[in-house]
Amino acid sequence: MTITARRLYTDIGSIEFPVITVGEDGTIADINSDPVALVQEQDTLTAAFVDIHTHGAVGHDVMSASAADLSAMQRFIASRGVAQYLPTTVTAPISATLRSLEALADAIERSPEEGEAQPIGIHLEGPFLSHAKRGVHPTEELQPPSIELFERFQQAAYGHIRLVTIAPEPAAIPEGAGSMMPDIYRRSSAYELIEHCAKAGVRVSLGHTNASASETLIAIKSGATSATHSFNAMRALNHREPGVLGVVFDEDNIYAELICDGVHVAPAMVRLWWKAKGRDRGILVTDSMSAAGMRDGEYMLGQFPVVVADGRALLAEDLARGKETLAGSVLTMDRAVAMFQQFTGADLSDATRLASHNPAAMLGLRERTRLAVGSPANINRFDGEGRLIQTYLRGRRVRM
């Protein structure tokens, strides 16, 4: 088949009036240009999205999802432009995390059905997080850094953990917290764990952290490459103690996630993030939970109930006490790209780059979103108004 448009944005530039020929194996066989035949075209083609931080959608949570549940979720996020993703865990008892990792690893090793986004690894968010900035992650299940415990997780995941969120600071552990770690798992420093992961090819993102600027710099020197949902569950930016945010914004080589839903981060701060990280180091994520694509109501994130209303997902336990704690989002990636353009004035090329090429590059998988001969034909189509109107996965149209 052939796919045509007014323009094509790739990771290295653009092609006017593209004619993309897709082979029977779903890869791009040829890319040409035909300005005469396509003079009336108005649409724009880009790489399909890569979501490196999602906990679920359409009523399904990745921590407990069956194979059928994951298929339903993968069909939904594909209809919102996502070709590849990292199912993301939340902090839970070690035994529950191990079961979830095994099930997710099985899903990764299966070929996705037609019209489904493909899981390409696992994002381990917790349990190596700060108690002070835990968000919805349960205090009693957070664990001190441990190379041995991480390796047990990686064993359960068949080696498919590609990204892990770690709080780098040596934080005080409240009494009774983290007490479930078996003695067989020796503790290490966060910096030792970061260095171990980096040497193993696992990317480390700094998040759920109260780290100072100096602690953040040591973490980066140890091998950390990114920051998890910038601004959220982090030490606030301060002019005398910049903390993790100040360092991440100042360091040109560090990537940074952002949840751009108009709830997690105010538009002015989205613009500040954009000015700091730019088109090569910013990463849009959804941090979606099982309520994404569903009506308001009560849902689960991992093992705890969440109340969803008016676009906000709040931890039910805290809400009952009069406290509002965000518990993921109901965001979809097409909406994140649209809202980012609305808040910043960025063009479609830059906005879609933050949702495709940058997350792939951070993971060391640049080829996953490269639109060139031999690459998978994972492509999004936008109309003249910048609306996502079609996604192609491996050259085939996805039901929208």
Asked if 279 and 350 touch (Cβ cutoff 8 Å), the reply is yes
Looking up tokens 């080696």 gives 159
DSSP per residue, 223-246: T--EESSTTTTBPPP-SS--HHHH
Helix (H, G, I), strand (E, B) or coil at 353: helix
Asked if 91 and 142 touch (Cβ cutoff 8 Å), the reply is yes
- Provide Rg for the chain, Cα atoms: 21
Looking up tokens 């994404």 gives 292
| Dihedral (CA of 125, 130, 134, 140) sign | positive
Nearest one of 61, 57, 60, 62 to 87, comparing CA atoms: 62
Distance CA 263, CA 256 (A): 18
Helix (H, G, I), strand (E, B) or coil at 396: strand
CA atoms within a 13 Å half-sphere pointing along the CA-CB vector of 65: 28
Distance CA 380, CA 375 (A): 14
Looking up tokens 């009523």 gives 59
Quick check: is 183 catalytic?
Answer: no
Looking up tokens 């999004």 gives 380
Q: Where are the alpha helices (DSSP H) in 157-203?
A: 190-199
Sheet containing 304-309, strands listed edge to edge, beginning at the edge strand earlier in sequence: 297-301, 304-309, 312-315
- Of 11, 61, 287, 334, the catalytic one is 287
Give the active site residues. Answer: 287
